Structure 1
Amino acid sequence: MNRRASLPGAAELFRSTGGPTDEGWFERRPNNHHAAASPRRGTPRQKHTAKITVYVSDEELLALEHARLALRATHGLAVDRGRVVREAIAVVLADLEERGEDSVLVRRLRHDTGK
């Protein structure tokens, strides 16, 4: 009896999911800081077509979990960590699009890199 698990091949792992690839909150917008920014939204719980891996510190993971629990306990929002992260990304990207040089992201990254 063979005790090895049957694993999918590369073609199955990297196949297209058939979902949209150039729609949604990540689509490219014109670089016009004076135009009214379209409201960005994180995507709700659904099957997503792309995946990234992000490494965080123990403290960052704990803070994320505390935020998730606070959303549930205080605001009645039962969401997973991925949803919180997608919403946070949408907020930061909307701020960058709207405020450009004065955005929170630019200021924080400049502070971290010392520029």
Structure 2
Amino acid sequence: MARRVSLPAADDLFRPTAPPDEGAAGASEQTAEPTADAATGPKKPSGRVRHDEKMTVYVTSDELLDLEHARLLLRRSHGLAVDRGRLVREAIALVLADFEANGDASALVRRLTEE
């Protein structure tokens, strides 16, 4: 009977290699939760950290193609290799920051009231 080979997870492949003393400052900056106090400024997207929460969003094939086109354009024109999840998290952060700053005049409210 053939056995399935177990491959390492991404966390195993990209684990920190620096000793804990040297890497502690950099690691704490990457895994820190974003805050939204008036003193610290607006929320920021989480970027490349392990995400514990999951949400499923259904999109049309055209929306998915537009998202993939934007991802490839970012890579080709700006040298930014991002996955679709990061692109979506960045877009959400932008929309929510605009909503917090502009309220009723935000692009989110305008688009949702057009429907």
TM-score by length of 1: 0.66
Structure number with higher relative contact order (C-alpha < 8 Å, ≥ 6 residues apart): 1
Q: Distance in 2 between matches of 1:37 and 1:95?
A: 16
| TM-score, normalization by structure 2 | 0.66
Deviation string for 1:45-70 (max 9, x for gaps)?
Answer: 22101110000000000000000000
CA distance in 2, matches of 1:108, 1:51: 25
Structure 2 equivalent of residue 64 of structure 1: 67
Unaligned runs of 5+ in 2: 2-32
Alignment correspondent of 1:45 = 48
Matched positions, count: 84
Runs of 4+ in 1 over 4 A off after TM superposition: none
Using the aligned pairs only, state the percent identity.
60
Give the structure with the higher percent helix: 2
The yes-or-no answer on 1:97 pairing with 2:107 is no
Alpha-carbon RMSD: 2.2
Q: Is the 8 A contact 1:37 1:94 kept in 2?
A: no
Aligned to 1:87: 90
Give the 3 Å change call, closer, same or farther, for CA 60–36 of structure 1 in structure 2: farther
Q: 2:34 aligns with which of 24, 41, 51?
A: 24
1:44, CA displacement in angstroms?
A: 1.1
Q: 2:95–2:107: 8 Å Cα contact kept in structure 1?
A: yes
